[in-house]
Chain A
Amino acid sequence: MLKIDGVSYRYRDAASPALQDVSLTIPAGGVYGLLGPNGAGKTTLISLLAGLLTVADGRISLNGQPLAEARAANPRAIALVPQDYAFYPMLTVAENLAFFAGALGLARDERRQQIDAAIAFARLEQVTGKHAEQLSGGLRRRLNLAIGLLGRPQLLLLDEPTVGVDPQSRSFLLESIAALPASGTTVLYTSHYMEEVEAICQGVAILDQGRVLSEGTLDDLLSTADSSAEIELDQPLPAALAERYAATDLGHFKFGLFFRSTLGPASVSMVVEAARLLDELAEAGCTVRQLHVGRQNLEQLFMRLTRRSLRD
């Protein structure tokens, strides 16, 4: 289990801290999603976990052991798969794997075994003799991931592992990543693709401006009594209602609304809120063309928590 406790970090010469009092508990044996807009602090947190930055404020522990000690005891315990293709384009797939296995200090037999396992895992058998620079985007992502698995890490840090790949490769990568906990590797997964996180993560934390806005199991986060609605009218939504339901204008008199729970369980609350909304719209003389009400998805939750304003 990875425990992050009150961690803050400020880069040299930075005006504001990159992380402020971040506390998370990431259970062993699962895929944990780390979400946040650009500049939220995800990369800083991953860099701290990978040992690229040193924790100055707060504590991080892996299986009860302080992170630095855990890394010293087993340097292969945590592996990082950067967002970029962090391998050598002029080397072949096999040469890249052999180099990184050597860099990990694996002995000859173990090296052979781990390289074979990584090739099989990422299904790279057909391209082992190809130079990495000749691979397609999807194969490069698979090689990037395969290198990360060479040391059989307890914790794998994946930074946007599916950027720039076709749907088939993405689906393959997601399935492969989802299967990792079964072989003893806990995954910390950062991505901007909400549907990916929703598909494979059991736990999620949403970060923004260096702070944790929300964290917990995916079910817990999405099963709050808050629900959402999408409504289409024949005229603009009255201002009072727009304010009450934190409406977002989707164009063509369509609006996204949030129903905040005030009355018991989500399902009850949702029905009561929907009925009340329809009454009020009728009173205001609005004709409702369409109404969809339901549990909010991760993207809606994310957008609500992080606001819609553009970052960087």
Chain B
Amino acid sequence: MTRLTALWTKETLALLRDRHGLAALFVMPIIFILVMTMALHDAFMPGAAIDVAYAIVDLDGSPHSQSLARRLDKTGSFRHVAAPATTDAARADIRAGRYALALVLPKGFGERLLTPAGADGQATESLTLMVDPTLNPALQLAFRNQTSAALGMLRADELTHSAGKLFGLPTAARPAERDWPDEIVSIAVQNDRSIRPPSSVQQNVPAWLVFAMFFVVIPISAILITERQQGTLQRLAAMGVPFRDVLLGKLLPFFVVNQIQAVLMVAVGIWGVPLFGGEALVMPTGVGLFHCWLVAAAVSLAAVACALLVASLAQTTQQSTIIGGVGNILMAAIGGIMVPKFMMPGTMQTLAEWSPMAWALNGFHTVMLRHGDFAAILPDLVKLLACAALALAVATWLNRRQTA
């Protein structure tokens, strides 16, 4: 125990004095969480407001044209701004970048609402949509579709009203303006299970926590490689300190570091993100919290073991920084840390199954989003622990081989 206490104290002191290592472990993920949660805020919210403004130039001024304007406004997807009185003024506004879309409702719009173009032999002036040519074509199309849909609803209501009167059916004096049919709920389809997609904060906190936990590779390899190069490992071996004690001496301090990271990142999600205008992270309670910790513990073991493996493979700290850094970024890229897995095509989702970071993130999402029980997280726990055991075994074998 004296020996292990000495090893733990040494690792802790060495880490506390490694400013770059501490920055990589604590500062980097906090910045990532805040920046990415804010940057991807809308990308995770289907139906969220699009920050594109439009104006309606109502040349008709009829109850029907006003009704269409109100119906469009209610959809809330695009931002409605006050309209100028003329098309020329609207054109100037678009050129000046005040808004990107202007819908012109021609004179006689209300009168001709139920008269298909040219059906009665008279030309019907069409609706005009003026657009900023730099606007994303998909958004242009989206606005056109919304307008068409609102127009269709308006016509249908007007028709029902007129037909009712014609056939003597009981109708309201004026049909209520129905809201946009927002009862359609978006469901993200992930493999064969349908779950609600994570919000930005739910995706980013566990994702960057996992990324940060795997970054223990930088301080661990820096110390282990220095120990090997300087002959300190030889000295310890000559003192009768078995290599497994050296490994154990690193496992516990960095396990604790990983747990501090977890607490810190969750705290940032709960209290830090709302300060910047994002939604707060909601953590499971009771046994769910314990399951969350189980996942964090398994991720930590896998991360520290992988770090020891990298430190054993690399000959210099430069090599370990490259292998560890690039390896982490690759694992993060294919593991759904940088781009959420549900946004990936099928082949990439299959590839993601091979990244320990994907197992880790999946474990956290199972607990945090699906409120999964122990059996639900068990497959990911087993994969992470198997990864840890394998990495430790290979690291030990490599070190034994190097000294033989």
Name A's B-contacting residues (CB within 8 A).
11-12, 47, 50-53, 71, 75-76, 78-91, 95, 98-107, 147, 151, 157
- The complex places the Cα of A86 from the Cα of B230 at a distance, in Å, of 5
Q: Are B236 and A103 in contact (CB under 8 A)?
A: yes
Task: Check B404 against A53 for contact (C-beta < 8 Å).
Answer: yes
Q: Is B238 in contact with A90, judged by CB distance below 8 angstroms?
A: no
Known: A82-B234, A85-B230. A90 touches B17 (CB 8 A): yes
A55 to B231: give the CA distance in the assembly, Å. 21
Chain B positions 1-29 with a Cβ under 8 Å from a chain A Cβ? 2-3, 5-7, 9-10, 13-14, 17-18
Among B252-294, those with CB < 8 Å from A are none
> Across the two chains, which residue of chain A brings its CB closest to B16?
A90
Of the four ranges (under 10, 10 to 19, 20 to 34, 35 or more), the interface on chain B belongs to 20 to 34
Closest B residue to A91 by CB, please name it: B13
Interface secondary structure of B, over-half rule: helix
B33 → A minimal CB distance (Å): 29
The answer to whether B240 touches A86 (Cβ under 8 A) is: no
- With contacts A90-B18, A151-B239 known, is A105 near B2, CB below 8 A? yes
From known contacts A87-B230, A106-B2, infer whether A80 and B240 are also in contact, taking CB-CB under 8 Å.
Answer: no
Partner of A83, one of B7, B17, B231, B237: B231
Q: Which of A90, A147, A157 has most B Cβ within 10 Å?
A: A90
Contacts A80-B234, A91-B10 hold; do A104 and B17 have CB atoms under 8 A apart?
A: no
Q: In the assembled complex, which residues on chain A have CB atoms less than 8 Å from the CB atom of B403? A: 52-53
Closest chain A residue to B235, Cβ basis = A86
Give the CA-CA distance A88 to B235 in the complex, in Å.
12
Do A103 and B231 touch (CB < 8 A)?
no
Closest 10 CB pairs of A and B: A102-B6, A75-B240, A82-B231, A80-B238, A50-B238, A86-B231, A84-B231, A86-B235, A90-B17, A86-B232
Closest to A71 in B: B240
| Minimal beta-carbon separation of B11 from chain A (angstroms) | 10
The closest CB in chain A to the CB of B245 belongs to A103
B239 close to A103 (CB less than 8 A): yes
Q: Does B145 contact A (CB under 8 A)?
A: no
Q: Is the CB of A12 within 8 A of B230?
A: no
Q: Pick the contact of A102: B9, B14, B230 (CB < 8 A).
A: B9
For the complex, give the distance between the alpha carbons of A80 and B235 in Å: 6
Indicate whether A105 sits within 8 Å of B3 (C-beta atoms), given known contacts A91-B14, A99-B9. yes
Q: Is the interface of A mostly helix, strand, loop or mixed?
A: loop
B35 contacts across to A, CB distance below 8 A = none
Residues of B contacting A88 in the complex (Cβ-Cβ under 8 angstroms): 10, 14, 226, 232
Q: Check A147/B2 contact, CB under 8 A, given A88-B14, A95-B13, A99-B9.
A: no
Given A102-B5, A103-B6, CB of A52 within 8 Å of CB of B232: no
Q: How far is the CB of B135 from chain A (nearest CB, A)?
A: 56
Q: Give the most central of A51, A52, A98, A103: most B CB within 10 Å.
A: A103
- Give the complex CA separation of A100 and B6 in angstroms: 8
Known contacts A88-B14, A102-B5, A103-B3, A52 near B237 by CB under 8 Å = yes
Q: Across the two chains, which residue of chain B brings its CB closest to A90?
A: B17
Instruction: Please measure, in the bound complex, the distance between the C-alpha atom of A175 and the C-alpha atom of B1, giving whole angstroms.
Output: 37
Sample 22 A-B pairs with CB under 8 A, ordered by A number: A50-B237, A50-B238, A51-B240, A53-B403, A53-B404, A75-B239, A75-B240, A80-B238, A83-B231, A84-B231, A86-B230, A86-B232, A86-B235, A88-B14, A90-B14, A91-B14, A95-B13, A98-B9, A99-B7, A101-B6, A107-B2, A151-B239
Cβ of B241 < 8 Å from any Cβ of A? yes
Judge whether B13 and A90 touch: CB under 8 Å: yes
Q: CB of B350 within 8 A of chain A?
A: no
Check A87/B239 contact, CB under 8 A, given A52-B403, A98-B6, A102-B6. Answer: no
Expressed in whole angstroms, the Cα–Cα distance for A99 and B7 within the complex equals: 7
A51 neighbours in B (Cβ, 8 Å): 237-238, 240
Query: In the bound complex, how far is the Cα of B17 from the Cα of A89, in angstroms?
Result: 11
Do B10 and A99 have beta carbons less than 8 Å apart?
Answer: yes
Minimum CB–CB distance from B315 to chain A (whole Å) comes to: 15
Q: Which residues of A contact B240 (CB under 8 A)?
A: 51, 71, 75-76, 104
B62 at the interface (CB under 8 A from A): no
Q: Report the Cα distance A230→B17, complex, angstroms.
A: 58
Q: How far is the CA of A91 from the CA of B227 in the complex (A)?
A: 13
- Residue in chain A with minimal CB distance to B5: A102
Assuming the A-B contacts A52-B234, A88-B232, A90-B13, are A102 and B2 also in contact, with contact meaning beta carbons closer than 8 angstroms in the complex? yes
Cβ of A103: which chain B residues have Cβ within 8 Å of it?
Answer: 3, 6-7, 236, 239, 241
Query: Could you list 16 further interchain pairs (A-B, Cβ under 8 angstroms) beyond the known A102-B6, A103-B239?
Result: A52-B237, A53-B403, A53-B404, A80-B238, A82-B230, A85-B230, A87-B232, A88-B226, A89-B226, A95-B13, A98-B9, A100-B6, A102-B3, A102-B7, A103-B241, A105-B2
Query: Contact between A50 and B13 (Cβ–Cβ < 8 Å)?
Result: no
Give the CA-CA distance A95 to B18 in the complex, in Å.
Answer: 16
Q: How far is the CA of A11 from the CA of B402 in the complex (A)?
A: 11
- Decide: A84 near B238, CB < 8 A? Known: A52-B403, A91-B10, A102-B9: no
Q: Are B239 and A100 in contact (CB under 8 A)?
A: yes
Q: How far is the CA of A184 from the CA of B339 in the complex (A)?
A: 66
Assembly CA distance A144 to B227 (angstroms): 14
Compute how far the CA of A291 lies from the CA of B239 in the bound complex, rounded to whole angstroms: 53
